Structure 1
Amino acid sequence: EVMVSIVCLEYSYTQAPRNMKSLIMAIFLLSVSFGNQITEFVNSVIQVDDPVIAFAEELKDGEHSHPGFDGTVGNEDDIIITRKEGKTSKRQLPDQEKIDHAASLITVWAEENDLTLPTTEEAKPLLSGLTDRWGSEITYTRLASRTARLASDGPDKESGTKWDIGFIMEAPDKALPAGEKSTKKTWLEKRREFLGVAEETEESDSLITKTAYTGGQPKLEGPAYYWFFTSLMLGAAILFVPYAIFSKEKSHLQS
């Protein structure tokens, strides 16, 4: 922001003719809007569908079975959804026992290490050899300092699809008093709540919480997400170089 916005604002205002300052400023701000549109488009493309959202929209309160990957209710890949007050309050994953077991291993490690979630590398020996009922490895990825994803490829045995299942695990905010859980919601939690699919965090005596998910995860995340946009900005800067080289200064007399 310091290196781009301030420079562009200053240049747009000081170099524009007196009767065009507002127009040039508006054009600059319009370019910012275009950039935001690009970001919104990328975010929509990299977001994996959540099979529960569309299915649950018209359901009444109570327990319902999503037919899962095979499209047939009553099989091992069904997703059990609980609706409460018009929202999806809970979902039971297919093969949840094995994922629960993996989550318990992560929780024990975190409780032995000052309630800090393990890094992706630290978790590998903990989950070594653990597979889901379809034969795929159960994987762990730490997304941020206090959040991580425990995932199974699901019944389609492919990673990054809407049939992925697992838990989003969260460690407590150490800035809070001991034993107190944070009530602050992330933007994603707020968005899911707005769509009527905000699941309740599973009740547990542990301060390490977990929330079940199906699909709905981004294909591009963490450092890769920021490197992507950094590359876009670098490309735009390179394209600007020829213009900067061949552009000639002009003087405008204003009355």
Structure 2
Amino acid sequence: TMLTPWLLEWYGPHLAFGVPGVLMVLATVVFWMGRNRFIHVPPGGKTFLRETFSRVGLKAMAKLSVLFLFVAMFWALFDQTASRWVFQAREMDRNFLGVEWLESQIQAVNPILILTFIPLFTFLVYPMVGKVIKLTPLRKVGAGLFLMGAAFVLSSTIQEWIDAGQRPNIGWQILAYIMLTAAEILVSIVALEFSYTQAPRTMKSMILGLFLAAVALGNLFTAGVNHYIQIPEPGKTVQKQLEMAAGKDHKVTASEKHPGADGIIGTDDDLVYSLKFGRQTKVAIPSRSSLEAAASIIESWSRANGSILPRPEEGSRELEGLKDEWGNAFRYHLENSQSARITSNGPDKEEQTQWDVGIRVKLKKQQKKQAKSWTQSLRPDRPWLERRKEKLGYKDELDEEEAEEFHRTFFAGGGERLEGAHYYWFFTILMFITALLFIPYAWLYRGETILQE
């Protein structure tokens, strides 16, 4: 988790994926060498089938399946540390302990904390809390669900700061990781251990399978939410045609006209997409002049206020009264401290559809002097991707209009219906609802503890 992002950044995907592959082969060889030292449990055979589909086995699976539904929501939030939390870390100040960390490296906090927290909870936390209240497995799981909600309260708050144009230190996300890892110990480890005691010994593999199915269910739920909130982008439908037209030599420019909201080519709301060097580089959109006027207002405000982008309420106030050619008002959204988005409802006059048109205004990145680090001697002067582009003669030509210290990028459609802090708060509320519903389940649960050999 620490090495792979660093290798990808500075040495490219060949080493980043090759080194873990070699280590995996080595681990397999070591595992095979110790095959005669492991305890071998023979397959259950007919005994497994008999006990699994017996009255006791079916009853145990039915009860545990309900428990695993609560666990599934836990994993729906937890596994977003590899996606949404990484995106969030990208917009944060990642200078911590004198080192500028990559956004993907922050995930390493979780396994480090796991190794620290397991003995801490076993020998200190559980005995101390046990003197005050009886700690049953289900109580531990319930506490873990509430703690996961608390971790997402913090991540939601961090995102609110980012949405307001701030750049909080990565230490805040590390604090969220501390709460999240503690929740993982209380929910994941305890729930699986408890489940093993509620079913015959021969059913351990089945119980583990149900537990992993809960993990998959949680991820499917998250994937479903993310699919639903996506706003269609007209350019996606013509991307393949453009790629084929551009050819394999990446030297041809191709263009494709896409009908607008009226579905007819040749009218004022048409979109024209262009592709160069094998990627989408330009979109000609209607209402361009009014969007440029809106961008100029935001840029003027920024120049007058120390080269920062206006906060959401300030940007909205600056654009008040300005409309596109269809009479739609402009919406201002601050994406982070360096980027803002101005959109209108477009020709269909409906909000958050594929016909929304907009312009993204970005502050040019200021080259800040990097503090010298001992790791500099282990890496090249420039990231691998920059060196690769230079070697191929690739120029990153986007649809950007430069205006002194700003970049302008036009777009149509795309984005999410639930973005920024609203996305995080949505899952936070779901987690607390799940934790509250778990209380009556734990209170009413009547299981039968089966001793394991």
Q: TM-score range by the shorter chain?
A: 0.7 to 0.9
With the length of structure 2 as denominator, give the TM-score of the two structures.
0.47
Which of 398, 413, 417 is residue 219 of structure 1 equivalent to? 417
C-alpha distance in structure 1 between counterparts of 2:449 and 2:413, whole Å: 58
The Cα of 1:228 is off from its aligned counterpart by 1.6
TM-score normalised by length of structure 1: 0.80
Q: Deviations over 1:120-145 (max 9, x none)?
A: 11112321221100011122111333
What amino acid sits opposite 2:241 in the alignment?
Answer: E
Change (3 A) 1:116 1:30: farther
2:397, 2:237 → 1: CA distance?
15
1:110-169 CA distances to partner (integer Å, 9 max, x unpaired)?
233333211111112321221100011122111333332200111111111110000233
The alignment partner of 1:143 has SS state of: strand
* 1:143 maps to which of 329, 335, 358: 335
Residues 6 and 171 of structure 1: is their aligned pair in 2 closer, same or farther, counting only changes over 3 Å? farther
Match of 2:184 in 1: 5
**Contact 1:13-1:21 within 8 A present in 2 as well:** no
Residues 1-255 of structure 1 aligned to structure 2 (within 5 Å): 1-15=180-194, 16-17=196-197, 24-59=207-242, 60=245, 61-172=253-364, 176-177=367-368, 200-248=398-446, 250-255=448-453
Q: What code does the residue aligned with 1:212 have?
A: F
Structure-2 change in CA distance of 1:199 and 1:91 (3 Å) = farther
Cα distance change, pair 22–11 in 1 and its aligned pair in 2 (3 A): farther
Correspondence for 1:195? none
Counterparts of 2:202 and 2:363, CA distance in 1 = 56
What RMSD over aligned residues (CA atoms) do the two structures have, in Å? 2.7
**How far apart, in 1, do the equivalents of 2:346 and 2:422 lie?**
24
Count of aligned pairs between the two proteins: 237
Q: Unmatched 5+ residue regions in structure 2?
A: 1-179, 246-252, 370-382, 386-395
Deviates more, 1:6-15 or 1:143-152: 6-15
My pick for the range that moved more, 59-68 or 144-153, is: 59-68
Distance 1:85 1:74 in 2: 27
User: Using the alignment, how far apart are the partners of 1:246 and 1:139 within structure 2?
Assistant: 50
Matching residue's letter, 1:227? W
Aligned to 2:439, the other structure's residue is in SS state helix
Larger Rg: 2
More helix by share: 2
Higher relative contact order (CA 8 A, sep 6+): 2
Question: Tell me, which stretches of 5 or more residues in structure 1 are unaligned?
Answer: 186-197
Q: Distance in 2 between matches of 1:24 and 1:220?
A: 36
* Counterparts of 1:72 and 1:137, CA distance in 2: 25
The alpha-carbon deviation at position 215 of structure 1 amounts to 0.8
Structure 2 CA distance, aligned partners of 1:10 and 1:22?
16
Identical aligned residues as a percent: 36
Inter-partner Cα distance in structure 2 for 1:63 and 1:253: 69
> How much has 1:22 moved relative to structure 2?
6.2
Letter of the 2:424 partner, please give it. Y
Q: Deviations over 1:196-251 (max 9, x none)?
A: xx971514153332322111121111222122212221222222111211224654
